[in-house]
């Protein structure tokens, strides 16, 4: 705060303005679909087949993103309570309840206009059982068709040729024909190849940005800042010229921060000195996002790698969408999503991050209503501690339900954790 207590006005960089405009335009297309005649498909972030959706001129609506938007705008609480009045349990994923409550309250998009009913529900099943139950509720509400892409779980930690062929067969025989019938647009594989080519270009720049956190100081926060960086590529923009341009701008901005020796940008401006480097597991809390982030940067803690920024695709271990093998590439993408990986794979990924990004510690934000992430997290924490010798900690909150965010409790735990890191350092220095 300045002396007169007026809020600090953070300068918006070109990439921030670009992404804001992209999101606004997609909501304009969604809410304007009844007038333009465009068809709408609802799908989820993990396993999101945006490049394929674009081939049929359909507009992509993502229920999780609507829930996040409402959470950050402090509107999700009333929606969740509305869903609970309708009989949904307190233990149900709060993304689901926020979505159901939003429908009950008129289904109003962030631009103030009502969202139309989807013409198609595309369920690309990548490890989250809740998605299936969620789409059952939406199908009952909207009365529209559902097409499901069954993606085998990586139980043995690898993708086999049979698994890939199984997904490709469904794309050819079920998913694409359904899209053709609903949209009235004939599938053009060359159009898909062009979309995938743009995806790969954007993915290259995204990976460069995420791996820039190996620098000291890290020019980015790969968790709180990272959730904004992944937005375009995980949602309705992968495969577009806008996404390519966004990641080109973002990379240029990060290159400049490295050249100037700067740390991450926070809601209050440039972060101060980097004191702690962390790897974080689990989604963030959206309803108190800025308060949560502030607890970190006030202590000089920067997140150099996170698993949540891989929920919609794991690119930093080499995967890219491949225009030369379009359907196989879509299959590999779905099979490799973070939520579709087994616990040993997740532990190995985190251990790799701890080493390559020279992290001081590992932190889990356990989400009350998200079993896809929370299951096995204590086991992951103990395993990382044993393998790396670095201190680990565990805090709890929720996705978009403000009733499960205790600012004082989380702040106390984090302060104790940073003290633990300091003690570990002192012990190592004395040895």
Q: How confident is the model at residue 13 (pLDDT cuts 50, 70, 90)?
A: confident
Tokens describing residue 399: 């996705």
Q: Packing angle between helix 14-31 and helix 241-259, nearest 10 degrees? A: 160
pLDDT tens-digit series, residues 331-380: 999 999 998 999 999 999 999 999 999 999 999 999 988 887 788 899 99
- Nearest-angstrom CA–CA distance, 136 and 408: 38
Confidence of residue 11 (pLDDT cuts 50, 70, 90): low
In angstroms, rounded to a whole number, what is the distance separating the alpha carbons of residues 299 and 305? 18
Contacts of 266 (CB under 8 A, 6+ apart): 221, 224, 293, 294, 297
**What's the chain's average pLDDT?**
93
Per-residue model confidence as pLDDT tens digits over 59-90: 999 999 999 999 999 999 999 999 999 999 98
| pLDDT greater than 60 at residue 288 | yes
Please state, in angstroms and as integers, the Cα–Cα distance from residue 203 to each residue in 86, 247, 258, 352, following that order. 41, 8, 20, 20
Position 129 scores a pLDDT of 80
How far is residue 224 CA from its own chain's centroid?
11
- Compute the distance between CA of residue 82 and CA of residue 96 in angstroms, rounded to an integer: 12
- Whether the pLDDT of residue 5 is over 60: the answer is no
- Average pLDDT rounded to a whole number, residues 256-279: 95
Q: Considering only 147-151, 242-246, 336-340, 409-413, which range has the smallest mean pLDDT?
A: 336-340
For 58, what's the count of Cα atoms within 13 Å in the CB-facing half-sphere? 32
Q: Is the pLDDT of residue 2 over 50?
A: no
Which residues 6+ apart lie within 8 Å of 381 measured at CB?
362, 364, 392, 394
Write the DSSP assignment of 256-306 as a string of letters: HHHHTT---EETTEE-----EEEEEESPPPSTTHHHHHHHHHTTTEEEEEE
| Token pair for 393 | 């900690």
pLDDT-based confidence at residue 293 (cuts at 50, 70, 90): very high
Q: Give the pLDDT confidence score for residue 90 in this predicted structure.
A: 86
CB 158 within 8 A of CB 26: no
* Residue-by-residue DSSP string for 319-375: ----TTSHHHHHHHHHHTSGGGB-HHHHHHHHHHHHHHTT-SEEEEEEETT-HHHHT
Cα 103 from Cα 418, distance rounded (Å): 42
pLDDT at 9 over 60: no
Mean pLDDT of 242-256: 98
Q: In what order do the strands lie in the sheet with 361-367?
A: 301-306, 276-281, 361-367, 392-397
Q: What is the phi-psi region of residue 127: left when phi exceeds 0, alpha when psi lies from -120 to 50, beta otherwise?
A: left
How far, rounded to the nearest angstrom, does the alpha carbon of residue 21 sit from its chain's CA centroid? 19
pLDDT at position 336 is 92
Per-position b or e across 217-252, b if 16+ CB within 10 A of its CB:
bbbbbbbbbbbbbbbbbbbbbbbbebbbbbbebbbe
C-alpha Rg value of the chain to the nearest Å: 21
Closest CA relative to residue 238, chosen from 25, 22, 12, 14: 22
84-109 pLDDT per residue, tens? 999 999 889 999 999 999 999 999 99
Section 157-179 average pLDDT: 97
58 and 386 Cβ atoms separated by less than 8 Å: no
Q: Encoding tokens for residue 406?
A: 């205790």
Distances in Å between the Cα of 240 and the Cα atoms of 28, 66, 320, 333 are 17, 21, 15, 17
CB-based contacts of 168, cutoff 8 Å, min separation 6 = 327, 328, 330, 331
- Grade residue 151 by pLDDT with cuts at 50, 70 and 90: very high
**Nearest to 149, CA basis, from 121, 173, 170, 176:** 170
Q: Is the pLDDT assigned to residue 132 strictly greater than 80?
A: yes
The tokens for 76 are 């999700």
Q: How far apart are CA 97 and CA 83, in angstroms?
A: 5
The CA distance from 308 to 230, in Å, is 10
């Amino acid at each position: 705060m300045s002396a007169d207590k007026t809020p600090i006005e953070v300068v918006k960089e070109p990439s921030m303005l670009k992404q804001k405009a992209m999101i606004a335009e997609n909501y304009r297309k969604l809410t304007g679909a009844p007038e333009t005649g465009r068809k709408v498909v609802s799908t989820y972030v993990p396993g999101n087949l945006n490049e394929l959706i674009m081939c049929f001129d359909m507009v992509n609506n993502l229920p999780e993103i609507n829930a996040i938007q409402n959470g950050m705008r402090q509107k999700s609480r009333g929606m969740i309570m509305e869903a609970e009045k309708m009989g949904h349990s307190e233990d149900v994923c709060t993304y689901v309840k926020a979505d159901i409550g939003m429908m009950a309250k008129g289904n109003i998009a962030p631009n103030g206009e009502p969202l139309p009913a989807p013409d198609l529900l595309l369920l690309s099943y990548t490890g989250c059982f809740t998605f299936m139950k969620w789409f059952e509720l939406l199908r009952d509400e909207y009365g529209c068709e559902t097409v499901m892409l069954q993606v085998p779980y990586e139980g043995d930690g690898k993708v086999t040729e049979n698994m890939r062929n199984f997904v490709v067969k469904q794309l050819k025989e079920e998913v694409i024909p359904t899209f053709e019938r609903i949209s009235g647009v004939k599938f053009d594989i060359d159009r898909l190849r062009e979309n995938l080519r743009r995806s790969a270009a954007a993915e290259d720049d995204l990976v460069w940005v995420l791996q820039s956190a190996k620098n000291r100081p890290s020019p980015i926060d790969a968790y709180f800042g990272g959730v904004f960086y992944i937005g375009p590529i995980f949602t309705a923009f992968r495969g577009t010229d806008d996404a390519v341009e966004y990641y080109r701008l973002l990379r240029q901005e990060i290159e400049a921060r490295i050249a100037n020796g700067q740390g991450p940008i926070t809601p209050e401006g440039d972060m101060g000195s980097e004191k702690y480097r962390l790897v974080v597991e689990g989604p963030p809390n959206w309803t108190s996002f800025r308060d949560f982030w502030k607890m970190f940067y006030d202590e000089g803690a920067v997140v150099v790698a996170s698993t949540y920024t891989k929920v919609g695709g794991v690119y930093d271990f080499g995967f890219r969408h491949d225009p030369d093998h379009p359907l196989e590439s879509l299959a590999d993408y779905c099979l490799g999503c973070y939520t579709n990986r087994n616990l040993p794979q997740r532990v190995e990924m985190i251990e790799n991050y701890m080493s390559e990004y020279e992290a001081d510690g590992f932190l889990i934000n356990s989400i009350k209503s998200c079993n896809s992430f929370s299951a096995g997290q204590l086991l992951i924490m103990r395993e990382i501690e044993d393998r790396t010798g670095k201190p680990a900690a565990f805090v709890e909150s929720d996705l978009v339900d403000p009733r499960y965010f205790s600012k004082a409790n989380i702040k106390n735990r984090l302060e104790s954790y940073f003290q633990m890191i300091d003690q570990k350092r002192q012990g190592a220095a004395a040895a």
